[in-house]
């Protein structure tokens, strides 16, 4: 019974990866030399072993059972990452295709035959026109690549925040970069959509009154955090676009940081700070953009 259950669960997961194979064929993506191909091949091998054991009545080897369980867990985790990746790249989610029945799965594994419905999914490979989120992040990246630096008060507030978030110098610089991108996303929003924040006039007036107090950098920190905690509501384009913006921004930052750190002797492929910290910093940067507008200050200036 353990083998039957394990085999069914393995079949369900392999059915999901069959969709990935169909999708890659549709868009002309070569998986032959990738980790994904190795993952699929390993799953198919385990499926064959368990299937043969069930049909023979002898029962599967315990090591094969354990290996199949490990593969399933790994495959599910990898599938979640791929969902996010395809979303960031503006591609449809291949795992949203119809489920394979047992006969279709067996035909795919043993004969390489795709189900009839896979050949009829011509529209699944159509990439949507450049979305608003894509354009916002792209424009923010262009703006943040220009020569600029924080003005004194915003700089102090941002540096304090980054310092509190980072234990190492590398992390500190990466957090600053994420905050900067969040700030420029706000600027790009204004430029591309003429969008306004959703805070009412009384909130803006409250920020302005606080900002005139003795410690403007502390007030700026508090206001940035207030915006961050309220997101995605303050984002004028709506929560779905904000979610897309964050996902795209994380991809952009990861690529940019790898380029930033590649020359350091201690560089490690596992350098990334967590997604939570990146999203936190992006939100702070966007909050800085809103707050800077509310109090009528320029948060950046050209380098001399």
Residue 302 β-bridge partners: 148
Taking only the tens place, the pLDDT of each residue in 159-173 is 999 988 887 777 888
Distance CA 275, CA 14 (A): 28
Q: How far apart are CA 247 and CA 1, in angstroms?
A: 42
Q: What is the mean pLDDT of the chain?
A: 78
CA atoms within 13 A on the CB side of 153: 20
Strands 300-302 and 148-150 turn out to be antiparallel
Q: What span, in angstroms and rounded, lies between the C-alpha atoms of 14 and 40?
A: 7
- Contact by Cβ (8 Å): 299, 288: yes
- For the chain, give the percent of residues with pLDDT over 70: 79
Q: Inform me whether the pLDDT recorded for 21 exceeds 90.
A: no
**Any idea which of 13-27, 114-128, 265-279 has the lowest mean pLDDT?**
114-128
The arithmetic mean of pLDDT across residues 193-210, rounded, is 78
Q: Which two structure tokens, joined as six digits, stand for 117?
A: 């419905």
301 phi and psi angles, rounded to 5 deg = -150, 155
**Which comes out higher in pLDDT, residue 203 or 135?**
135
Instruction: Give 53's contacts (C-beta < 8 A, 6+ positions apart).
Output: 3, 59, 60, 61, 64
Q: Is the pLDDT of residue 176 over 70?
A: yes
- pLDDT for residue 288: 93
pLDDT tops 80 at residue 36 = no
Which among 250, 303, 244, 302 has a CA at the least distance from the CA of 281?
250
Q: How far is CA 14 from the centre of its chain?
A: 24
- Put residue 112 in one of left, alpha, beta given phi > 0 → left and psi -120 to 50 → alpha: left
* Statement: residue 7 has pLDDT above 60: yes
Residue 128 gets which letter from DSSP?
P
Rg (CA), the chain: 25
Q: Does the structure show a pLDDT above 50 at 220?
A: yes
CA separation for the pair 19, 26 (Å, rounded): 11
The confidence score (pLDDT) of residue 1 equals 35
CA-nearest of 158, 176, 168 to 271 is: 168
pLDDT, position 284: 94
Q: How many CB atoms neighbour CB 225 within 10 A?
A: 16
d(CA 283, CA 232): 9
> Dihedral, CA atoms, 187, 191, 197, 202, nearest 10 degrees?
90
pLDDT tens for residues 124-168?
334 345 788 888 998 898 888 776 788 888 999 999 999 888 877
* CA angle (107 as vertex; 105, 112 as ends), nearest 5: 105
pLDDT of residue 167: 79
DSSP summary character for residue 105: H
Q: Where are the domains of the chain?
A: 2-125, 132-302
Tell whether the model's pLDDT for residue 65 goes beyond 80: no
Q: Helices (DSSP H) in the chain: which residue ranges? A: 2-27, 35-56, 62-88, 102-111, 116-119, 132-144, 152-165, 169-193, 201-211, 216-230, 239-261, 275-295
Over the stretch 247-263, which tens digit does the pLDDT of each residue have? 888 888 877 776 666 55
């Amino acid at each position: 019974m353990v083998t039957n259950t394990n085999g069914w669960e393995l079949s369900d997961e392999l059915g999901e990866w069959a969709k990935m194979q169909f999708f890659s064929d549709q868009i002309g993506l070569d998986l032959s030399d990738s980790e994904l191909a190795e993952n699929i091949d390993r799953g198919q091998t385990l499926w064959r072993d368990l299937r043969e054991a069930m049909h023979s009545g002898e029962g599967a080897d315990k090591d094969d059972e354990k290996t199949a369980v490990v593969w399933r867990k790994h495959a599910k985790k990898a599938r979640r990452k791929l969902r996010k990746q395809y979303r960031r790249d503006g591609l449809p989610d291949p795992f949203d295709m119809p489920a394979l029945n047992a006969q279709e799965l067996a035909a795919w594994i043993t004969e390489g035959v795709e189900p009839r419905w896979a050949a009829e999914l011509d529209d699944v490979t159509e990439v949507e026109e450049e979305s608003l989120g894509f354009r916002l992040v792209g424009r923010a990246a262009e703006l943040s690549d220009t020569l600029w630096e924080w003005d004194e008060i915003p700089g102090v507030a941002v540096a304090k925040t980054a310092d509190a978030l980072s234990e190492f110098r590398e992390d500190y610089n990466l957090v600053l970069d994420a905050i900067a991108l969040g700030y420029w996303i706000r600027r790009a929003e204004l430029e591309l959509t003429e969008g306004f924040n959703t805070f009412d006039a009384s909130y803006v007036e409250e920020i302005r009154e606080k900002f005139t107090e003795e410690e403007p950098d502390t007030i700026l920190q508090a206001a940035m955090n207030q915006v961050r905690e309220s997101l995605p509501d303050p984002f004028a384009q709506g929560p779905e676009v904000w979610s897309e913006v964050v996902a795209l921004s994380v991809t952009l930052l990861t690529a940019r940081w790898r380029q930033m750190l590649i020359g350091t002797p201690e560089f490690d492929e596992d350098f990334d700070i967590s997604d939570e910290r990146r999203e936190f910093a992006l939100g702070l940067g966007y909050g800085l953009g809103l707050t800077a507008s509310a109090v009528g200050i320029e948060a950046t200036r050209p380098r001399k």
